[in-house]
Structure 1
Amino acid sequence: MAKRLSTGISILDREIEGGVPAGSMVLLSAEPASQSELFLYELTAARPSLYLTTVRSDQSVEDAIAAANTRTGSPTVRDVGGDAPLDRANRLIGTLPEEATLIVDVVDALERYDRSRYRRFLNELQTVMVNTGGIAILHGLKGQNIPANRDLTAHVADVVFDLRTKITNAEVENRLVVPKFRGGKALSEPIKLRLAESVNIDTSRDIA
């Protein structure tokens, strides 16, 4: 079995047999109004991390991580938004050390490039991750303006974490579905999560 790397989120590691295979690319798909950034912050705790932000400023991300009331690391944060985000991301990815975590938040800006160019980016990223034995997390939003290349991201990704958020009159319900897991097994059932100050299992019972 390929070497597993901890995600930094213990409850998730338990469900996926210890972590994600080294060299994997992961798509974390989530609603814009979910607190999926908690996943990203906790993912930085396991090992040295490079956090590429395409929407928020690097200072905004650093402040949010510092203020998070959960276990985080001290990632290197770089703003690659603005002009030529794909080129800037490519240059920084080439500097990744061994067994590092790469986070792209959000990948939507890169997915809006020409399909052939974005495909080349994904292939180059895959090569870097295999060579360094790290993990790449591509955070994609499921809003009303999903980029046309999202299907390409999901196809190339080794693992897909699909965070589904349902808002009712009484509560906000989050379930994590793992429909794809190369090098392991996809989860047969979703994990009910509580996203507040940290990522935790929601032990409340479902009411039919």
Structure 2
Amino acid sequence: MIEPTILSRPTYGTLEPRPGRAHLLIADDAGSAAIVDLFARAPADFHESATILSVTKDLSGDEAAALHRLSPATLTACPDMPAMLNTLAGLLAEAGMGVQIYLAGTEPLIGQAMRVVIEAGIDHSAIATEHRGSLARRVQCVHCKGFMDEVTTQPVTCAHCGLSLFVRDHYSRRLAAFQGVCINAEDQSEIVPAEEVFR
């Protein structure tokens, strides 16, 4: 479970079916189980107005098969996050009033998809989220502005500038990332051993 620590830290709920003209569901492999659980609670005709956008590394895997069995109106599998975000932007450009958005999976997926949804002008009240899977973080180095995905250690070495970064709980919704600040700014010869804390 994600423990909220400061006000900017996102909190997540459990996906529940909501009234709407159309339903757009976005998940990674970890979030596919949340989509399956949502469909189990949804009205019988929910699938007729459901579009599922999935980021999956294995099109023949169990997660992809489970989503396919739901028989949504449309199921699109994307090989990676950039492809999914591009496809999502296209779908949102054509979406009309009354669309409900469901985001499920890891924090990087939820954060980056939410940023695209908000930029498309969808009101936050139409967005539901559920965290599933790894607690790995997307981190921005506040010094060089570079981003790193799948960060599991505290501290982490910036992949762009090489600084040792303390990963703060401060979360930027605009950037969909946690902030990393130099942990040894006063004495960079001081080495703080990394420990895996975001699993």
Query: Given the two structures, how large is their TM-score scaled by the length of structure 1?
Result: 0.38
Task: Mark the structure with the bigger radius of gyration.
Answer: 2
